[in-house]
A and B are shown apart, each in its own frame.
Chain A
Amino acid sequence: MHTLKIVDLTVKVEDKKILDNLSLTINSGEIHVIMGPNGTGKSTLSKVIMGDKHYQILKGEIYFDDKLINELTVDERARLGLFLGMQMPLEIDGVTNADFLRAALHAKEGDNFKLYSFIKRLDQVVENLKMNKDMIHRGINKGFSGGERKKNEILQMYMLEPKMVLLDEIDSGLDVDSLKVVGEKVMGYYEQFKPAILLITHYQRLLDYIKPDYVHIMKNGHIVKSGDFSLVAQVEKNGYDFFLNTRENVIEDNL
């Protein structure tokens, strides 16, 4: 059992407070979704958990398996088992996907890394995701469409087998077919490995494929409402403004 625990997290970037006393606990085998309007701090939360140094923690703690990770570097957090699937995965020309994944696996597995097993596994995952095999030898996300970039994030997730998966708007820019593939593959990973998953999205459509156990509505840097899947229907019906003046303690009430 793995647990990500965020306690009273307050974060600023430059002079602007983005997260305000946010608390949340996610255990292995749970899927949490955070929804909310633009600019409310959803993506910031995922980057802060991952250790992006652009964001300054003013107050609060982030624990992974009872280990305080506030001061850990990005790569140290990743090696603990955290994974961030990004909203806008970067294109890095010159560094091939194969070299990148080999370095990542090598960092994770150390002396246990076996090149042959890596190649075999990579081929298998590429095939499962119905990706073009040539992409492996191209630069990271080089010339990839939006859908291919998101699939590449999912490929990395399968290769690295993280315990805590953060997916930041993994549905943005996807057509209906790609959305289905990405949604199903995330669920496939969940069913196989039972990680903790935190999904950030604006829209309900991704939730046709990924069924969350908990839904949180975020506004102005904190969680204003938490509940089960039925909350999604309320959002669809009433919009986010409905929750503007509501704030509940997510940990006590719902978890």
Chain B
Amino acid sequence: MNKIVIENGLIKDKIVDNTIKVNYSVSDNFLAVNNLEISCLKDTSICIYYANNYDIKFNVIINCLESVNVNLFEIYVDGKLKIRNTYNLERTSNLTIQKFYDVEKINQFDIINMDGEYSNVNYILKTVSKNYEKYNLLINHNSKNTFSNVINNAVNINNGKVIFDITGIVPKGMSNSTLNQNNRIVTFNQNKCQINPNLLIDEDDVSANHSAFVGEFSYEELFYLQSRGIRYDEALKLLIKGFLFNNLILIDDITNALEVIIKKYWG
């Protein structure tokens, strides 16, 4: 597993093999953007760990070359972030992105360019929101026979407020494309959260689905767990843990990060 640890805008630790090529630069212009570019040359797994104590901006580009399978894990901890991730997929490449956030505040814009035919992306985002968090995701199905599956899950606590703005675009001629979106925000406060699922499709031969939910865990779920003797707080913790762990391919870094978060907020 390739591992890149970025702390306060600097690469603190980097363990990489010959499956990827990494370029990192810290801009000294007035925008102070940190640029990271990774090219995936062969099948690979990458874990990028961001830890920040102050406001910071990132521009990240991930390129998946032809026929390459990539498992990408992104963990964001602390700090106020503005980040733009661009994922470029060439022909028959497969990218699985698992993103986990426990930050103070974030404004993120992710772009997935499915430039190659038969490219495939699974995008899974999990966050525990304590403040304003905005996630924009734009998926461009720029080729035929492309597949995108998006799962965005947020648990909204304290003064959390989450906005998911998710747009899938299929231009005319990009037939046999599939787009799935599943967005869910579980709230523990009265702040207004928002999910904007947009499917902009200019082609007939496309399969597209979306679901969106903002609300609390259902009474029926809690009743079921409690009816087996589990106390309310513990039942809630089980549901939160299940919600955050669900659909993830777990590796130690992700498991540990999630366990720490759950312990931090729910004991």
How distant is the Cα of A54 from the Cα of B230 in the complex, in angstroms? 19
From A78, A84, A86, A108, name the one whose CB has the most chain B CB atoms within 10 angstroms.
A78
A-chain residues with CB within 8 Å of residue B234 when the two chains form the complex: 103, 107
How distant is the Cα of A118 from the Cα of B88 in the complex, in angstroms? 48
The chain A residue sitting closest to B248, CB to CB, is: A94
Given A103-B234, A107-B234, A139-B246, the answer on whether A95 and B241 have CB atoms closer than 8 Å is yes
How distant is the Cα of A160 from the Cα of B226 in the complex, in angstroms? 13
Number of A residues with CB within 8 Å of any CB on chain B: 30
Q: Is A228 an interface residue (CB 8 A)?
A: no
Contact yes or no, B224 A89, CB < 8 A:
yes
Given A94-B242, A95-B239, A95-B242, the answer on whether A100 and B228 have CB atoms closer than 8 Å is yes
A-chain residues with CB within 8 Å of residue B225 when the two chains form the complex: 92, 95, 100, 103-104
Q: Is A50 an interface residue (CB 8 A)?
A: yes
Q: Is B267 an interface residue (CB 8 A)?
A: no
**Cβ 8 A contact of A75, one of B221, B229, B246, B247:** B229
How distant is the Cα of A54 from the Cα of B218 in the complex, in angstroms? 13
How distant is the Cα of A182 from the Cα of B247 in the complex, in angstroms? 32
Q: Chain A's nearest CB lies how many Å from the CB of B156? A: 17
A-chain residues with CB within 8 Å of residue B221 when the two chains form the complex: 90, 92
**Cβ 8 A contact of A86, one of B224, B231, B245, B246:** B224
Contact yes or no, B231 A93, CB < 8 A:
no
Q: Is B266 an interface residue (CB 8 A)?
A: no
Contact yes or no, A90 B238, CB < 8 A:
no
Given A90-B221, A107-B231, the answer on whether A95 and B226 have CB atoms closer than 8 Å is no
How distant is the Cα of A95 from the Cα of B236 in the complex, in angstroms? 11
For A98-134 the 0/1 string (1 means CB < 8 A from B) is 0111011001100000000000000000000000000
- A77-98 contacts to B (CB < 8 Å): 78-79, 83-84, 86, 89-90, 92-96
B-chain residues with CB within 8 Å of residue A95 when the two chains form the complex: 225, 238-239, 241-242
Q: Chain A's nearest CB lies how many Å from the CB of B93? A: 29
Q: Is A52 an interface residue (CB 8 A)?
A: yes
Contact yes or no, B229 A160, CB < 8 A:
yes
Contact yes or no, B226 A73, CB < 8 A:
yes
Q: Is A156 an interface residue (CB 8 A)?
A: yes
B interface residue numbers (CB < 8 A to A): 219-221, 223-232, 234-235, 238-239, 241-247
A interface residue numbers (CB < 8 A to B): 50, 52-54, 73-75, 78-79, 83-84, 86, 89-90, 92-96, 99-101, 103-104, 107-108, 139-140, 156, 160
The 10 closest A-B pairs by CB, nearest first: A94-B242, A94-B246, A95-B242, A78-B229, A104-B228, A74-B226, A75-B226, A107-B229, A79-B229, A90-B224
